[in-house]
Chain A
């Protein structure tokens, strides 16, 4: 089983829509995929029509004996399951801090999912916290959405520094998100980003179909598979699959 965290410290850059659409693409591609909604806002769960709130959500992560796998729910899509968000996740930092070895515990929890899944995609809260730190130290790769703007680029730099400070070699996979080619700056900065070999080459366009996910409450490819955004997510997934050697 491979694990991929979608994370950034800046909000509104297409993090959750990437997590949901990529999870759907991976499931369609024949991977038993689990989307783990770690963001207490629960937007990923909402997109998949899964009501947030799980009894014992925090304990299932921090306590040794509580099985996380028991909380996994089916979604409307083949091969795609979800661990929905819980508002109690806002206290996850404190709970993790109270465990002896948070990273080890979290890694063991993730291992417990390997029997039934080929891939776990974690939608992380957009902040620097013990939760993100623990996740980043544990997963195989960290996917970072970057809007081609000065602030976003600055954030990417901060994120990279943070990840390298964790001293663990998780792959860092930045990709261009919400790209609007009508904007000159998006063009220029986008090109600059793609010169960086770490960047994934597929860019996700800024598209109303993605924004409308809040209304359709489904991955773009499930409702409008021929839309450019849907194709872009599929292509991005393929590129990630290759980079992560899944």
Chain B
């Protein structure tokens, strides 16, 4: 369907007059609808070139707009939140994998008055399917109407050739995502879980640090409402990642910001990390549940139900605690004063604040890189858990630095280095996850044992699961050696040295 923007005062009678000769306009009765645009918080549908709306009028329907295709329409009983809520079929197959674990959130709402119909030729055959719509949006603050449009959709522009030629109409995109987003106070594509920081190599270290930390603060704040409302688990995940990165930046950019500022806010970030940790652990458990089941035989997988119930119960309690913390005076003061401190561009009373960021970045990255090489190089073929844990932390610090400063380096080069590091991190992370999860499982097994209602078979299954995880952990341990050789080999070191100027070899 091609869509045209009509002049605001143009009505059906004008359109009838504008039709090419031999054509008749047939219109059905008008219908009033509320059209809500939906996407994940990080715009996964928009990024894939899609748009999804929920129409509420005489019927409740979901409409998927796909580039170069007819829009797809399906009835729905309620607004879908998760991929599992989507009606089976084309919609679920198309957007389900994109959404993955993210929920759909409301982007913005339009009110629409619609008339469907067709243009017929003199034999009553359909020449074009058409839809006339007048849409309006209300501003996010509930203020006055911020947008109103008068549009015509047509499966063929043929009957309207005269109108198009006269220049009275303008072809526009098939949907109003931009307008709805504006009404909802959002910008399409405006949020991403990926760190997007633009630095200038001539910037001072002080200015660069503030830019990085402000981007991270924006991420923290953007994810607060979704975490409190518990829309999906990624809000908390992103909030915590930004929190960890901020802490890491404060430590690793030592000497760039005033020490008293660093000390105070590091404490606050530590608090925030601590208060949100238990909820995240429980989220990971619930997200892992399907994997756990797949690791056990069907008969045993059924025994995991008491465990799942126990975790869900604990999770509800943990979520309440997090929501309370995010609404607390302490948190609100913290983010407010943190923003104030970052936006205060007065002279920094820190020794390295005026250094050129490109120099400092290369130096700090090289330092972190060497630490990883050294610690990793000291490990034998079957390293102990504690040593791998410390190496994981070092690798993470290096990763954060590479990501903070990636805009200072040639894209393909820095991306390749991050990829090499990520491969190593995946193994270290996998090993650690197994360690943490096994630890927690034995705790849960104890809790389940104390509950008389829980069958012994369930407790034994948790034990069995722990054994499976131990074997997986062992696989990670064995994979570590090769991964580290790849990461620390001569070609990788030379590439690192070329990029960051330091001597790659130790």
Check if B125 sits within 8 Å of A32, measured CB to CB. Answer: no
Query: Using an 8 Å CB-CB cutoff, how does the interface string of A46-60 with B read, 1 for contact, 0 for none?
Result: 001111000000000
B70 close to A76 (CB less than 8 A): no
Does A51 contact B123, Cβ atoms closer than 8 Å?
A: yes
Complex contact B72–A49 (CB within 8 A): no
Interface presence of B120 (CB below 8 A): yes
Q: Does B75 contact A (CB under 8 A)?
A: yes
Cβ contact of A49, chosen from B1, B73, B89, B118, cutoff 8 A: B118
Task: Report which residue of A31, A51, A78 has the largest number of chain B beta carbons within 10 angstroms of its beta carbon.
Answer: A78
Q: How many chain-B residues does the 8 Å CB contact rule pick out? A: 21
Bound together, the chains give a CA A36 to CA B87 distance in angstroms of 26
Q: Contacts A49-B124, A50-B125, A50-B126: A78 and B73 contacting too (C-beta < 8 A)?
A: yes
Residue from the list A32, A75, A118 in contact with B129, Cβ < 8 A = A75
Distance between B325 CB and nearest chain A CB, rounded to angstroms: 43
- Whether a CB of chain A sits under 8 angstroms from the CB of B47 is no
Q: Is the interface of A mostly helix, strand, loop or mixed?
A: loop
Q: How far is the CA of A48 from the CA of B1 in the complex (A)?
A: 18
Which residue of chain A has its CB nearest to the CB of B75?
A30
| Cβ contact within 8 Å between A79 and B125 | no
Q: Does B72 contact A79, Cβ atoms closer than 8 Å?
A: yes
Question: Interface extent on A, as a size class?
Answer: 10 to 19
Which residues of B have CB within 8 Å of A48?
126
B125 near A51 (CB under 8 angstroms)? yes
Q: Are B73 and A30 in contact (CB under 8 A)?
A: yes
Tell whether A30 pairs with B89 under 8 Å between CB atoms, given A49-B118, A78-B73.
yes
Q: For the complex, what is the distance from the CA of A76 to the CA of B26, rounded to whole Å?
A: 12
Question: A217: which of B1, B69, B73, B124 is its contact (CB, 8 Å)?
Answer: B124
A74 and B155 contact, CB distance less than 8 A: yes
Is residue A81 contacting chain B, with contact meaning CB distance below 8 A? yes
Q: Which residues of A contact B91 (CB under 8 A)?
A: 30
Contacts of A30 in B (CB 8 A): 72-75, 87, 89-91
In B60-84, the 8 Å CB interface with A consists of: 69-75
Tell me how far the C-beta of B177 lies from the nearest C-beta in chain A, rounded to whole angstroms.
Answer: 20
Q: Does A116 contact B (CB under 8 A)?
A: yes
Which chain B residues lie closer than 8 Å to A79 at the CB level?
70, 72-74
Which of chain A's residues have a CB closer than 8 A to the CB of B74? 30, 79
Determine the distance from Cα of A31 to Cα of B73 in the docked complex, in whole angstroms: 9
A30-B73, A30-B74, A81-B70 known; A76+B126 contact, CB < 8 A: yes
Residues A32 and B126 in contact, CB atoms below 8 Å apart: no
The 8 A CB mask of B123-137 against A (1 = contact, 0 = none) is 111100100000000
When chains A and B are docked, how far (Å) is the Cα of A87 from the Cα of B70? 28
A74 with B125, Cβ < 8 A, contacts A79-B73, A116-B69 known: no
Residue of B nearest to A27 (CB): B73
Chain B residue numbers with a CB within 8 Å of A32 are: 72, 90
Say whether, besides A30-B74, A32-B90, A118-B90, A49 and B125 are in contact (CB < 8 Å).
yes
Complex contacts, B75 vs chain A, CB 8 Å: 28-30
| A76 to B1 alpha-carbon distance, docked (Å) | 11
Most chain B CB within a 10 A radius of its CB, from A29, A48, A79, A116: A79
Q: In the complex the two chains form, what is the Cα distance from A76 to B87 in whole Å?
A: 23
Which A residues are in CB contact (< 8 Å) with B125?
49-51
Binary flags per residue of A109-133, CB closer than 8 Å to B gives 1, else 0: 0000000101000000000000000
A49 x B69 contact (CB < 8 A): no
Output the least CB separation between B285 and chain A (Å): 35
Chain A residue, CB-CB nearest to B130: A76
A69-85 Cβ-contact flags toward B at 8 Å (1 or 0): 00000111011010000
Contact of A118 among B89, B118, B126, B155 (CB under 8 A): B89
Please, which residue of chain A has its CB at the minimum distance from the CB of B69?
Answer: A116
**Cα(A29)–Cα(B74), bound, Å:** 7
Chain B residues closer than 8 Å to A217, beta-carbon distance? 124
Given the complex of chains A and B, what is the CA–CA distance between A48 and B124 in angstroms? 10
CA distance A74 to B1 in the complex (A): 9
> Would you mind naming 30 contact pairs between A and B with Cβ atoms under 8 Å apart?
A28-B75, A30-B72, A30-B73, A30-B87, A30-B89, A30-B90, A30-B91, A31-B90, A32-B72, A48-B126, A49-B120, A49-B124, A49-B125, A49-B126, A50-B126, A51-B121, A51-B125, A74-B1, A75-B129, A76-B126, A78-B71, A78-B72, A78-B73, A79-B70, A79-B72, A79-B73, A81-B70, A116-B69, A118-B89, A217-B124
